Chains A and B, each alone.
Chain A
Amino acid sequence: MMPAGHYLFLSLALFLIGAIGVVTRRNVIIVLMCIELILNAVNINLVAFSRLYGDVAGQAFALFIIADAAAEAAVGLGIIIAFFRNQETVFADEMDILKW
């Protein structure tokens, strides 16, 4: 097996790209996709350590995270569709109807 540090760096790179995307992109759908990328980066970490220690618990947690990502995507996209129906926009900086 490769040194676990390489997996950590891969996971970190994906996490960073995802975090930067969440902060910078305007399109809310792409922000949601970046969140999926972040969750995926966490999964790489969990599976790498599960392999390193020969314990399958990390993979069980990765499975929970995947289920969580599915739930989050469903609810998030539902919110986006509802918002688009009301306000005709998917841009984060135009979503300010709670501000006054």
Chain B
Amino acid sequence: MLDSVLFYFFAGIAIVCAAMMVTRRNPIHSAVFLITTLLATAGIFLQLRAEFLFGVQIILYVGGIMVLFIFVIMLVRLDAPLQELRFTFQRWVTAFVALALVLEVAVTFLLLRRLPGQGSLVLRAVPADRLPPNSEALAQSLFSSYLLPFEIVSVLLLVAMVGAVVMAKKR
């Protein structure tokens, strides 16, 4: 019961704020709504018992990436874009993308319903009190099964850091 209340609370916030983010005129407002969406997603991670990802989401996404975005929004000139057009005129492309994705999901759910005994993917999840400690399990998995991808991610971050510095540098 509490689970579903929490889920609908966070999901509602996430979806409403995401829609607001796409439609706002001022980029700063968009950024603040995106921050709210990301925080609501962090709440959903917590509701799914992914405590480590909850922390990472808040520290890295909200604390790191979004601060970077707001810095850049304030760095580029803000007053001129305010009166101008928000959207490009690509209504047909938009309609096509939306239609394709909705159709894909409808077909998926129709096919799922045909599977015996698994309407809407109601499988029996592991009970919450029998889950292993989240950070510990994640560390085990990261440093044993996924050690190579982990190292590759570190190289990727290094490359991105150097690339960002080189690109934003004054020459």
Q: Tell me the A residues contacting B by CB distance below 8 Å.
A: 1-8, 10, 12-21, 23-27, 29-30, 32-34, 36-37, 40, 43-44, 47-48, 50-54, 56-57, 59-60, 62-64, 66-75, 77-82, 84-85, 88, 90-93
Contacts and interface: CB of A to CB of B under 8 A. Distances in A.
Given A33-B30, A47-B48, A77-B68, A6 B7 contact: yes
Nearest to A26: B88
A31 to B, nearest CB: 10
Given A19-B97, A52-B125, A36 B34 contact: yes
A29 B27 contact: yes
Given A33-B30, A66-B60, A16 B65 contact: no
Nearest to A10: B11
Contacts of B76: 29, 80-81, 84, 90
Q: How extensive is the interface on chain B, given as a class?
A: 35 or more
Interface in B95-143: 97-98, 101-102, 105, 109, 112, 120-123, 125-126, 128, 131-132, 134, 137-138, 140-142
A18 B140 CA distance: 33
Contacts of A56: 132, 134, 137-138, 140-141
B34 A23 contact: no
A82 B168 CA distance: 5
Contacts of B3: 1-2
B125 A18 contact: no
B37 A40 contact: yes
Given A56-B141, A68-B153, A69-B61, A16 B98 contact: yes
A33 B31 contact: yes
24 contacts: A4-B121, A5-B120, A6-B11, A7-B44, A7-B48, A8-B105, A10-B14, A18-B18, A19-B98, A24-B91, A26-B86, A26-B88, A51-B126, A54-B131, A56-B140, A59-B52, A66-B53, A70-B64, A71-B160, A73-B68, A75-B164, A77-B69, A78-B166, A80-B76
Contacts of A13: 15, 18
B143 to A, nearest CB: 10
